Amino acid sequence: MLTFLNNIFLPLLAAAVLPVLIHLFTRRRLVRQDWPSLKFLLEIQKRQMRRLRLKQIILLILRVLILLLVIGAFARPAIRGVFGGGVGAHENSSVAILIDRSYSMGQEAAGIDLFAKAKLLASDILGLLDEGDELMIIPFDSKPRPLTAEPTRIFAGSHESVDSLRLSDSVTDIWTAVAFATGKIRESRLLHREIYILTDNKATGWRRTGTLELPERTRIYAFSLAPDDERNLGITGIEFPRALLQKGVPFELTAQIKSFAPGAVTDHVIDMYLDGERVAQKSFDLASGGVIQVKLGGRAESGGFHYGRLELEGDALRPDNYRFFSFRIPEELKVLVVGGPETDFVATALAPGLDDFFKVKRVGYNQLGGQILSAYDVVILSDPPPLTSAVSSAITGFIQRGGGLLALFGGSPDPAESGKSLFGEESPFEILAAIGDSAGEGRLELGRADFDHPVLMPYSAEGLPQLSFRRIAAIEKAGQV
């Protein structure tokens, strides 16, 4: 469609009739008189006059065309094509290019993500700018992030700046970006203003309400980019096992998956990779907007650090298809067992052989103050007496640095006092007293159990063994400690 960007010159097209008027008003009308003796010359004169009139008409047409072309050149005609009458063949304009860099622009169309397509379109628009135009490139997600503080007439490096843009992990706010661009180009002294919006046009980008007033002679050109597939799922969380990981022992990870797809998804696949190899795969169904938890199992055959990832197989948006994890399996676990002769049973249970995973050291309470607790992974206190403040502080620091503590109060002389000396007055639980008699015949057995607790988790499948106790410590306000 043909349009004129400098419409102010169009009225001057009327000047094209001036040569015609001049020709009509300056024609000389001759009085005709016949001369009999010169009739033979009359035919020659008629032929010459026809040629002269033809030349005059051609010259008249050329004069009119010259005026039309000159005035048309000043009016600067343009064909409204892909960019709808935008920059390129126009009088100077103030141009704002808004590039959506929000999370959803990572979706793909024909194997190319929408953000890459938006940058290509922006480069095409930059190629149409003329000297004297003003430019402001405004990438945006939840808020505008302009590359320059104000519109500039220096375009050097603009293509490189667009190419260097990267996707963000934020949502989009198109309304705010347009309002920002409008405010910037409103201040321009140039006659024309143009705003280009390159976005996937998600509905969430227009949640703002209000009136958006455009300055005079402002045009908005919106390019809505759509992916091939609107189906999108994301891994929103990963839950690691709370139990101790050991080499050669299977473990399970739990992936939380949410559907952002407009419809139900069936037979979608999630994979688990460990140390670069796929070790598990599961398929699942999920309704639109639904959330599901999927368990995947693996096993590390060696100690040390291991890395892995959970991965959803292809959908519309890749960045949320991954969750990475790492963990360390100790080659051995160093345990300090503190107590009297009864600790021999604990040490034997942990390390019955020579090549055991647990490396156990036994000491008495009189030796506890001289131990470097950071050299151990776990400290076991068997029937602890009231401890000194120095020893209690050392144990507290050990726990805060990630060490493990197992305290057995059943045989303590005064469990309540021992608990206060160890955990302090501000402890979230209180040890009241011992129940039962270690010398008596009575027995205490296990009742209900929380198999989500790391200590009891290995028994979740088969249940607790038949155990009985002669004496235990009563605890009040026990919870997550």
pLDDT tens sequence across 385-407: 888 889 989 998 998 898 989 88
Predicted pLDDT of residue 83: 45
- Per-residue pLDDT tens digits for 195-226: 999 999 887 778 776 777 888 888 999 999 98
- CA–CA separation, 187 vs 126, rounded Å? 21
- CA–CA separation, 349 vs 362, rounded Å? 13
Q: 42: which 2 tokens?
A: 């009359």
Cβ pair 253, 309 in contact under 8 A: no
**Which span out of 8-12, 55-59, 77-81, 96-100 was modeled with the highest average pLDDT?**
96-100
CA geometry: angle 183, 188, 191, nearest 5 deg: 120
Tell me the one-letter amino acid at 106: G
Is there a shared CATH topology between the 93-224 domain and the 333-476 domain?
A: yes
Residue among 233, 223, 232 nearest 117 (CA):
223
CA dihedral over 59, 63, 66, 68, signed as positive or negative: negative
- CA–CA separation, 392 vs 288, rounded Å? 54
- Tell me what the mean pLDDT of segment 79-103 comes to: 70
Predicted pLDDT of residue 4: 60
Strand, coil or helix: what is 335? strand
What does the domain layout of the chain look like in residue ranges? 1-21+50-79, 93-224, 233-329, 333-476
- Per-residue pLDDT tens digits for 132-175: 899 999 999 999 999 999 999 999 999 999 999 999 988 899 99
For residue 316, count other CB atoms closer than 10 A to its CB. Answer: 20
CATH architecture, domain 333-476: 3-Layer(aba) Sandwich (3.40)
CA distances, 196 to each of 96, 123, 221 (Å): 6, 12, 5
Cβ pair 248, 258 in contact under 8 A: no
First-last CA distance in the chain: 75
- CA–CA separation, 77 vs 413, rounded Å? 101
Between 249-253, 258-262, 444-448, the lowest mean confidence (pLDDT) is in 444-448
CATH architecture, domain 233-329: Sandwich (2.60)
Predicted pLDDT of residue 263: 85
- Tell me what the mean pLDDT of segment 472-481 comes to: 63
- Identify the helix (H) or strand (E) that includes residue 50: helix 39-75
Residue among 99, 101, 159, 165 nearest 129 (CA):
159
Confidence check: pLDDT of 286 > 50: yes
**Reported confidence tier of residue 364, pLDDT bands at 50, 70, 90:** very high
- CA–CA separation, 371 vs 363, rounded Å? 9
Strand, coil or helix: what is 259? strand
Strand, coil or helix: what is 336? strand
- Per-residue pLDDT tens digits for 113-140: 899 999 999 999 999 898 889 999 999 9
Q: How many CA atoms lie within 13 A of 422 on its CB side?
A: 27
CA dihedral over 466, 472, 476, 479, signed as positive or negative: negative
Q: Does domain 93-224 have CATH number 3.40.50.720?
A: no
Q: 454: which 2 tokens?
A: 């790391």
Confidence check: pLDDT of 279 > 60: yes
Q: 438: which 2 tokens?
A: 């270690």
The percent of residues above 90 in pLDDT, for the chain, comes to: 35
- Helix %, strand %, coil % of the chain (to 5): 30, 30, 40
**Reported confidence tier of residue 43, pLDDT bands at 50, 70, 90:** low
Pairwise pLDDT comparison (57 vs 140), residue with the higher score: 140
DSSP per-residue string spanning 160-180: HHHHT----SS---HHHHHHH
Predicted pLDDT of residue 118: 95
CA distances, 50 to each of 28, 45, 57 (Å): 16, 9, 11
Residue among 347, 392, 345 nearest 373 (CA):
392
Mean pLDDT of the chain: 83
